[in-house]
Amino acid sequence: MVVWDVLSWISIVGGLFFIVVGSIGVLRFPDVYTRLHAAGMTDTMGAGLVLIGLSFQSGLSFESGAWLITVRLLMIWAFLLFTSPIATHALARAALHGKVEPIRGDLEGGDS
């Protein structure tokens, strides 16, 4: 099934793009709150596209039991979709209560 291979390839490469870009953002952004944004990019688009690409590979055939693998991939995806915003929210809240000041205004000289 060449069509599914091509779709899966496109999804996985797109997901890898988001993962690498999000990681570069986590490394390069100036403070915690901006890094949260880059990390969220990885969790939603990167993980979602990679898992969807993998589920294109496994398919939905009932005879070989491959649909169970697809269901597991979708479960992982749904779980990441629920927990990533909760973890991000808890982190931002803890950082704010931990007296980490967000950078305001001019970003020059704010690079760590």
Partner 1 sequence: MFSVAAVGIGIGMTLAMIRALLGPTLYDRVLALNTFGTKTVLLIAVLGFLAGRPEFLDLALVYALINFIGTIAVLKYFEVGDLGKASETRGGRA
Residues within the interface to partner 1 (CB under 8 A): 8-9, 12-13, 15-16, 19-20, 22-24, 26-27, 32, 35-36, 39, 42-43, 46-47, 50-51, 53-54, 57-58, 69, 72-73, 75-76, 79-80, 83-84, 86-87, 90-91, 93-95, 97-98, 100, 112
**Separation of alpha carbons 37 and 49, rounded Å:** 18
To the nearest whole angstrom, how small is the minimum distance from the Cβ of residue 48 to partner 1? 10
To the nearest whole angstrom, how small is the minimum distance from the Cβ of residue 107 to partner 1? 16
To the nearest whole angstrom, how small is the minimum distance from the Cβ of residue 62 to partner 1? 16
Backbone angles phi, psi at 95, to 5 degrees: -65, -40
**Separation of alpha carbons 50 and 15, rounded Å:** 5
What are the distances in angstroms from CA 65 to CA 23, 33, 60, 74?
35, 44, 8, 15
**Separation of alpha carbons 72 and 89, rounded Å:** 26
Q: Which is nearer to partner 1, 17 or 104 (CB)?
A: 17
To the nearest whole angstrom, how small is the minimum distance from the Cβ of residue 11 to partner 1? 10
